[in-house]
């Protein structure tokens, strides 16, 4: 009887200590299963951007081209500026694939258009990530954020001009990005190697490549002051080209509801795109005789309202100076773009903007886009 009692007591103690252990182990397994992330993970985004345009000059069309003979053309029009769809697929904890298309570009010849982003990115850690494919390389402020949250009606003139020369906009190549600290100053960097002949090209136009770098120093966390340095060198059709730039951004909170942010950017580069459009007999032997330079200043005043669907009211006014051939045939283009914007929902989920683009040239060139003009723009956008 004593043996039976001891055996029963032993089994009871075994059960008392074993069962909680087994339950605890099962809970840990269930927790691990809950934390386990399944791949691939998909994220879909979109942007709709429509405009109503009114040309304020009788002899300039909506594309900005002057007509000396007063040809018949439209001076007002509705326009679909962008209809973007993006899919991002995380295929692992460190790897993502991104595709972005702009369906609005089917309204004209879609060759070398429509497809904007198409790349794969592998992030080793916060200090280093590798991107390969078609993307926007970092070479200034505007390359680091999407068009739907800019503080004006569109990107600057110099952004598009540098894009024609392979330094900005969508390009094919590879880039390394990351962050590190220098004496407690955070530094964001990007090192890129590009074909330099734009997007959706079958191959590079020659064996030369364009190499660029960008370093952004976080000088003040309180006012979000960042100073950027950009530099690039390259070879285009056996000729050496270069680009340099610097920029400064800040975001100041004046009160709980009133904010002011500012952007200042200046760049200079070889305008090899212009050089190779000029007949050989009419151009100099040196490609670096053809230089472009520009800068812009963009202050933006934001008042937080948070009244029903209306989130905020913004006012901005960008001043820009651009000369695409200042050494040999200078013709400075100065642009002023005042804009009022109403933001609905959060993070520009819906937005209405109204503004005027005013362009002034040192020399008007008839029957070209280098002619004084004013364009009124009413723009509506929604982020999907």
SS3 at position 309: coil
Spell out the alpha helix ranges (H) of 176-322: 272-275
d(CA 1, CA 347): 78
Share the mean pLDDT of the chain.
90
In 3D space, the residue among 172, 267, 269 whose CA is nearest the CA of residue 228 turns out to be 267
d(CA 190, CA 130): 10
The arithmetic mean of pLDDT across residues 256-279, rounded, is 96
Q: Please, which residues bridge with residue 54 across strands?
A: 76, 376
In a 13 Å sphere around the CA of 144, the CA atoms on its Cβ side amount to 17
Strand pairing report for 128-135 and 373-383: unpaired
Q: For the chain, which domains are there? A: 37-383 (2.40.160.10)
Spell out the alpha helix ranges (H) of the chain: 2-35, 157-164, 272-275
Query: Would the pLDDT of 7 be above 60?
Result: no
Can you give the pLDDT at residue 345? 84
Q: Model confidence at 347, in pLDDT bands (50, 70, 90)?
A: confident
Q: Model confidence at 36, in pLDDT bands (50, 70, 90)?
A: confident
Can you give the pLDDT at residue 71? 72
Query: Would the pLDDT of 249 be above 90?
Result: yes
The arithmetic mean of pLDDT across residues 293-299, rounded, is 97
Can you give the pLDDT at residue 27? 54
Q: Model confidence at 10, in pLDDT bands (50, 70, 90)?
A: low
d(CA 321, CA 362): 11
Greatest pairwise CA separation for the chain in angstroms: 121
| pLDDT tens digits along 96-116 | 999 999 999 999 888 889 999
Which parts of 237-327 are beta strand (E)? 239-253, 258-270, 291-307, 310-323
Question: pTM for this structure?
Answer: 0.86
């Amino acid at each position: 009887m004593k043996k039976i009692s001891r055996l029963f007591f032993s089994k009871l103690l075994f059960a008392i200590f074993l069962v909680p252990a087994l339950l605890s182990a099962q809970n840990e397994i269930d927790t691990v299963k809950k934390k386990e992330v399944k791949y691939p993970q998909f994220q879909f985004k979109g942007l709709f951007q429509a405009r109503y345009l009114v040309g304020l000059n009788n002899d300039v069309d909506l594309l900005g081209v002057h007509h000396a003979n007063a040809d018949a053309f439209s001076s007002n029009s509705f326009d679909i500026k962008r209809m973007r769809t993006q899919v991002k697929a995380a295929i692992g904890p460190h790897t993502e694939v991104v595709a972005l298309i702009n369906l609005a570009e089917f309204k004209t010849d879609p060759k070398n258009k429509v497809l904007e982003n198409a790349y794969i990115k592998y992030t080793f850690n916060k200090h280093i990530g590798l991107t390969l494919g078609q993307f926007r390389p970092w070479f200034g402020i505007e390359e680091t954020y999407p068009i739907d949250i800019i503080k004006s009606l569109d990107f600057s003139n110099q952004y598009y001009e540098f894009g024609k020369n392979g330094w900005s906009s969508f390009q094919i190549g590879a880039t390394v990005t990351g962050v590190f600290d220098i004496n407690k100053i955070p530094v964001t960097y990007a090192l890129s190697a590009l074909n330099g002949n734009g997007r959706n090209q079958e191959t590079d136009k020659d064996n030369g490549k364009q190499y660029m770098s960008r370093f952004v120093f976080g000088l003040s966390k309180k006012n979000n002051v960042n100073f950027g340095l950009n530099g690039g060198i390259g070879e285009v059709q056996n000729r050496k080209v270069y680009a340099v730039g610097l920029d400064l951004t800040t975001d100041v909170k004046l009160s709980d509801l009133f904010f002011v942010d500012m952007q200042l950017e200046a760049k200079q580069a070889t305008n090899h795109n212009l050089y190779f459009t000029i007949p050989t007999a009419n151009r100099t032997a040196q490609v670096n005789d053809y230089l472009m330079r520009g800068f812009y200043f963009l202050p933006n005043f934001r008042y937080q309202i948070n009244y029903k669907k209306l989130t905020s009211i913004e006012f901005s006014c960008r001043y820009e100076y651009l000369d695409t051939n200042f050494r040999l045939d200078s013709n400075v283009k100065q642009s002023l773009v005042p804009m009022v914007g109403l933001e609905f929902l959060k993070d520009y989920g819906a937005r209405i903007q109204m503004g005027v683009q005013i362009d002034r040239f040192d020399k008007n060139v008839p029957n070209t886009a280098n002619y004084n003009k004013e364009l009124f723009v009413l723009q509506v956008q929604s982020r999907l």
